[in-house]
Amino acid sequence: MKIKDTLENYCFVLPAITIFTVFYIIPFFWVFQLGLFDWDGILPTKIFVGLANFKEIIFQDKSWWQSMGNAGWVTLIALTFQNALAFLLAMACDREMKMKNFYRVIFFIPPVLSEIVVGMVWGFIINDVSGANIINRMLIGIGLPQLAHSWLNDPKTALTTVAIVHCWKGFGWGFLIFLAGLQTIPRELYEAARVDGANAWQQFKGITMPLMVPVIVLVAILTVLGTMQAFALIIGLVGGELGGHTSVPVLRILASMRGSSRFGYACAQGITFGVVLVMISFIQYRFSQKGKHN
């Protein structure tokens, strides 16, 4: 009877396990397996190279690590600027204010737009050669001509410009999750704090922040995962890697598959990238757990 119950329980989760195995576990191992071969993606024969592809990525491929650094920089800006903006706007919309539902809709429009469309539209707004050069015209218009600049074509500013456009596109997700988190905080806590004489800053520090830690961690993990994998926006904005200055890991993986026809190497890059993302997420999770206990 106990065995029957156990089997019955397993049967309930069997479809989910099967789908997860077929679409996630097996492809992962398959991609890892391909990463151990030198293969162009067409020939039926593959040459086994062991961990050579992984060694090359880790010890020789400077452009890979440059792309990781670039993605890291964009992620850092997203984690700070984008999430701070999202948090502030969520706090504003959590209060009783006029037209708050309107703002909620407006803030959520950028995330639902296609990355490539956002890239091309912002490219048109920013670009001084093929676009409308609106940003520079505005700077000149407000008496700051010294700041007018070829934002997307200068290696010093291209990546940061990409990061800022990415923040514009991405803050809506964080906003929505933060808002949902803020609305779960019991209002009585704030009322009690006010009765005890706590000011706004003390309420924020003593109630909002501690209770929002799990939400902040969730948003941070989603931001890291989403930003590190961004690439279509870069294609739309800059057209490519700009001599390596705007290259990101996914663009490098695509270059290995498409440009060099090194499918095995691209698979190894994909696995390496996946491992890095899992490690970052795990570290963030551990920090959040530590923060919770403190």
Partner 1 sequence: MIGGIKNFKGVLVFSLLTLASINLAGCSSQPSTQAKGKSISVWHWMTDRQTAFEELAKRYEAATGVKVNFELYAPSDAYSQKVRAAAQGINLPDIFGILGEKRDFSSFIKAGHILDLTSYMNENDQAWRNIFFPKALALNEFNEDNSYGINTGTYGVPIDIMTIQMLYNKDLFKQLGLDPEKPPVTFQEFIDIGKKIKETKLQGMVSGWGEVWMIDCLANNYAFNIMGKDKVLATIRGEVSYTDPDWIEVLGLFEKMRNSGVLSDGLISMVNKTAEQLFANGKAVFAFNGSWCVNVYKGMNPNLNYASMLPPKVSDKYPMAIWGGAGSSFMVNARGQNKEEAVKFLKWFSARDQQTYLSEKTNNLSANKECVGSISEVLSQFAKSMDFATHPNIWGVSEFPAVIEALDKGIQTIILGEKTPEQVAAEVQKVKVRELDKKKNK
Of 65, 110, 134, 150, the one binding partner 1 (CB under 8 A) is 150
Of 152, 177, 250, 251, the one binding partner 1 (CB under 8 A) is 152
Cα 133 vs. chain centroid, distance in angstroms?
A: 28
108: its two tokens: 């959520």
Burial 98-121 (b: 16+ CB within 10 A, else e): eeeeeebeebeebbeeebeebbbb
Site string for partner 1, 224-253 (x = CB under 8 A): --------------xxxxxxx---------
Closest CA to 259 of 69, 117, 63, 72: 63
End-to-end CA distance of the chain: 46
Question: Which range, of 108-116, 140-148, 186-194, 255-263, touches partner 1 by CB under 8 A?
Answer: 255-263
Considering only CA atoms, give the Rg of the chain.
24
Task: Name residue 47's beta-bridge partners.
Answer: 38
Of 157, 203, 229, 261, the one binding partner 1 (CB under 8 A) is 261
Closest CA to 264 of 88, 71, 33: 33
Of 55, 100, 205, 258, the one binding partner 1 (CB under 8 A) is 258
Whether residue 205 contacts residue 114, with contact meaning beta carbons closer than 8 Å, is answered with no
Whether residue 251 contacts residue 33, with contact meaning beta carbons closer than 8 Å, is answered with no
User: How many other C-beta atoms are found inside a 10 Å radius of the C-beta of residue 50?
Assistant: 9
Of 2, 3, 15, 146, the one binding partner 1 (CB under 8 A) is 15
Question: Which range, of 16-24, 80-88, 174-182, 268-276, touches partner 1 by CB under 8 A?
Answer: 16-24
The amino acid at residue 129 is V
**Does 128 participate in binding partner 1 (rule CB under 8 A)?**
yes
**Does 121 participate in binding partner 1 (rule CB under 8 A)?**
no
Residue 28 Cβ, how far from partner 1 at the closest point, in Å? 18
Question: Which range, of 128-136, 200-208, 209-217, 268-276, touches partner 1 by CB under 8 A?
Answer: 128-136
Binding to partner 1 in span 50-109, by CB under 8 A: 60, 63
Binding to partner 1 in span 20-39, by CB under 8 A: 22, 38
Helix, strand, coil proportions of the chain in percent (round to 5)?
A: 80, 0, 20
Cα 179 vs. chain centroid, distance in angstroms?
A: 19
- Give how many residues touch partner 1 by CB under 8 A: 41
Question: Which range, of 75-83, 88-96, 151-159, 282-290, touches partner 1 by CB under 8 A?
Answer: 151-159
**Does 133 participate in binding partner 1 (rule CB under 8 A)?**
no
Query: Between 13 and 84, whose beta carbon lies closer to partner 1?
Result: 13
Site string for partner 1, 38-57 (x = CB under 8 A): x-xxxxx--x----------
Integer CA distances (angstroms), 33 to 51, 54, 55, 80, in order: 10, 12, 15, 37
Whether residue 124 contacts residue 131, with contact meaning beta carbons closer than 8 Å, is answered with yes
Footprint on this chain of partner 1 (rule: CB under 8 A): 4, 7-8, 11-12, 14-15, 18-19, 22, 38, 40-44, 47, 60, 63, 127-130, 150, 152-153, 155, 158, 238-244, 255, 258-262
